[in-house]
């Protein structure tokens, strides 16, 4: 949260987040993504997230890119990717 606050002081147009859920309790992860979502609407902020937690990433975004070994293997609306059987099987359990 402190790192996010420090980044927002500069009033960026683009915020890059690398594994923000790493090491956080699940309830904190949900709160964090809720906060980031509200910031995108209130500040007109664009957020690029790299996240291993595919469930929360797809729930919290509009568009997603699925990478495997550094290559984009799927892309599209997050809502559509959540319903894709390959994504369900490989990343959502």
CATH of the domain at 31: 3.40.50.300
pLDDT at position 92 is: 85
pLDDT at position 66 is: 92
pLDDT at position 49 is: 92
Q: How many CB atoms lie within 10 A of CB 49?
A: 19
Low-confidence residues of the chain: pLDDT under 70? none
Number of structural domains the chain divides into = 1
How far, in Å, CA of 89 to CA of 43, rounded? 35
CB environment 12-44: b (16+ within 10 A), e (fewer): eeebebeebbeeeeeeebeebbeebeeeeeeee
- The residue segments making up the domain with residue 54 are 2-92
pLDDT at position 12 is: 92
How far, in Å, CA of 9 to CA of 79, rounded? 31
């Amino acid at each position: 949260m402190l790192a996010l606050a420090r980044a927002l002081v500069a009033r960026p147009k683009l915020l890059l987040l690398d594994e923000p859920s790493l090491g956080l309790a699940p309830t904190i992860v949900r709160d964090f993504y809720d906060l980031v979502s509200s910031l995108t609407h209130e500040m007109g902020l664009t957020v690029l997230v790299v996240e291993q937690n595919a469930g929360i990433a797809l729930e919290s975004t509009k568009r997603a890119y699925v990478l495997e070994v550094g290559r984009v293997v799927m892309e599209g609306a997050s809502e559509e990717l959540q319903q894709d059987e390959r994504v369900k099987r490989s990343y959502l359990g």
